[in-house]
Structure 1
Amino acid sequence: MITLADIREHAMALPDVVEKPHFRLPGFRVADKLLAHLERGDAHAIVCVGQAEAEEAAADQPDVYEEVWRNGRIFVGLRVDLAKVTEGRMRELIEHAWRHRAPKRLVAEYDAR
């Protein structure tokens, strides 16, 4: 099972990520934009990947992933079952969320390394 420590390790390895609570739950941000956070109970995390990626993941593995919408109209991200996702896939999702939320300049600098 993926833990908060695993998520923290993956998120904090990316440039300019800070840990900041999201509604009193552990969250990670870049440029003050949320990229991932845990849900109450630590069984699920929300990662802020693009809508197309979330839709595809939820369609391919509905037992692991679920699209998250606020008020049924505003796309939020992808809910991940931390007991069912692999560590490699979670790392990939966190990086995708970072790329989705980070300033383009920061992504370009990261890719140039």
Structure 2
Amino acid sequence: MVHSYKKGYSRELQLVHLLSSKGYMVVRTPRSGRINLASPDIIALKNGRITVIECKAHEEAFKVDGEQLDELKQWQDAGASAYVAWKLARKDWIFLHLHDVVGNSGNIGKKFAFEKGLKLEDIDPERLV
């Protein structure tokens, strides 16, 4: 468990620094010690647009917890763009729209991710203007 926590933490920090290098203002919101408010792993702001991200660092298929999906949905309902980001070893981050993940009952596998996934450039607010 400790190893997976460290792996997840280091991957979250990696994404925080990547987003920052691309011009985002970024905050990592750790789960430990949280209060009962919807808080995704990462909150990023660029060009007045908020993006919230739940990070995953599994090597095999996994299911996103329903509570995490609900929290992302709360942020989306408030106007943020919401994604689940998956980091596979030796691959770039894959970003999945919340609606795609919810539509697949929270289940994420490689085939689904490669079909539906986006690159960081694809979610950049500068490209969406």
Name the TM-score, length of structure 1 as normaliser: 0.41
Name the TM-score, length of structure 2 as normaliser: 0.37
Q: RCO higher in 1 or 2 (8 Å CA, sep ≥ 6)?
A: 1
